[in-house]
């Protein structure tokens, strides 16, 4: 059942805001939070008749909410698998466009107190490792790289969004975590970053599409065009996302 908080956010996008502007609701992967918030501000500046409201969460949660009928205008997933679910449920009928790519990196608290230096080090006994749950895109990528490298990990927790993994590391609740390079970059000095070559074996593609039953289809497509166009590409590149 759709959670009350998520439903409240979704319902907010059904009509107009108090200012009279049309509210466009965008369901977007948690890893897009910072860059999409910036793009939303740009969109509102050039579309004074519109207000962009975001629902950021794990892509699997967002796909499930769409399947359950949550109202939305745009869906941006951190992988093609969850976008495919939205297509199968009938909420997406147009051809989704891949607008960015992302890969994993290891993050630790500042100074890397446990001296993690490689993917293999994440299998070390006693290391408090946090990763994304397998159904979440970053979790699927984690499983893919560790399986290919034959590294057997035993995480202390599996989170529903990459931002939750990052929070566990920055709060000191974990010795290491696997997150996207963009999330690590956004955390700045709050984490130490350890790139690993195996990450190239699990590149996540990010697709976006307007929701088929959007009540604001024209604005939904305009936001999609902003993300996939030159302004969106520049903002995504600055945030560390790879090209489609």
Q: Which residues are annotated as a binding site?
A: 31, 59, 162, 180
Find the CATH number of the domain harbouring 195.
Answer: 3.40.190.10
pLDDT digits (tens, 9 = 90+) for 37-47: 999 999 999 99
* Phi and psi torsions of 130, nearest 5°: -125, 135
Mean per-residue pLDDT, 100-121: 98
Structural domains of the chain, count:
2
For the residues of 48-78, what is the DSSP string, one character each?
TTEEEEEEEE-HHHHHHHHHTT---SEEE-S
Mean per-residue pLDDT, 208-217: 97
> Do 79 and 106 share a structural domain?
no
pLDDT at 9 over 90: no
Question: Is 9 part of a structural domain of the chain?
Answer: no
Burial class of residue 135 (count of CB atoms within 10 Å of its CB; 0-12, 13-18, 19+) = middle
> Do 137 and 52 share a structural domain?
no
> Do 60 and 33 share a structural domain?
yes
Q: Which residues are annotated as a binding site for molybdate?
A: 31, 59, 162, 180
Assess contact for 128 and 156: CB atoms under 8 A: yes
Question: Is 2 part of a structural domain of the chain?
Answer: no
> Do 227 and 143 share a structural domain?
no
> Do 157 and 90 share a structural domain?
no
Q: Beta 129-132 vs 176-180: how paired, if at all?
A: parallel
Those residues whose C-beta lies under 8 Å from the C-beta of residue 220, and which sit 6 or more positions away, are: 24, 73, 74, 210, 211, 214
> Do 189 and 110 share a structural domain?
yes
pTM reported for the whole predicted model: 0.88
Domain interval for residue 152: 102-201
Give the bridge partners for 131, in sequence order: 158
> Do 180 and 93 share a structural domain?
no
Judged by DSSP in three states, 133 sits in coil
Question: Is 118 part of a structural domain of the chain?
Answer: yes
């Amino acid at each position: 059942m759709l959670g009350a908080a998520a439903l409240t956010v979704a319902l907010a996008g059904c009509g107009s805001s108090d200012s009279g502007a049309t509210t466009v609701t965008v369901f977007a992967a948690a890893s897009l939070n910072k860059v999409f918030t910036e793009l939303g501000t740009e969109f509102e500046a050039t579309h004074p008749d519109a207000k962009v409201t975001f629902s950021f969460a794990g892509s699997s949660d967002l796909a499930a909410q769409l399947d359950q009928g949550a109202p939305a205008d745009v869906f941006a997933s951190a992988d093609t698998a969850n976008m495919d679910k939205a297509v199968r449920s009938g909420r997406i009928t147009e051809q989704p466009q891949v607008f960015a790519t992302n890969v994993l990196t290891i993050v630790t608290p500042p100074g890397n107190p446990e001296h993690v230096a490689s993917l293999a080090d994440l299998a070390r006994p006693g290391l408090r490792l946090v990763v994304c749950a397998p159904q979440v895109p970053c979790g699927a990528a984690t499983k893919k790289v560790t399986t290919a490298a034959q590294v057997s990990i035993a995480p202390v927790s599996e989170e529903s969004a990459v931002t939750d993994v990052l929070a566990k590391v920055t709060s000191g609740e974990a010795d290491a975590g696997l997150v996207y390079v963009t999330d690590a970059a956004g955390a700045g000095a709050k984490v130490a970053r350890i790139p690993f070559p195996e990450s190239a074996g699990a590149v996540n593609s990010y697709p976006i599409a307007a929701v088929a039953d959007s009540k604001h289809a024209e604005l939904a497509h305009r936001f999609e065009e902003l993300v996939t166009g030159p302004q969106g590409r520049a903002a995504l590149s600055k945030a560390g996302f790879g090209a489609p």
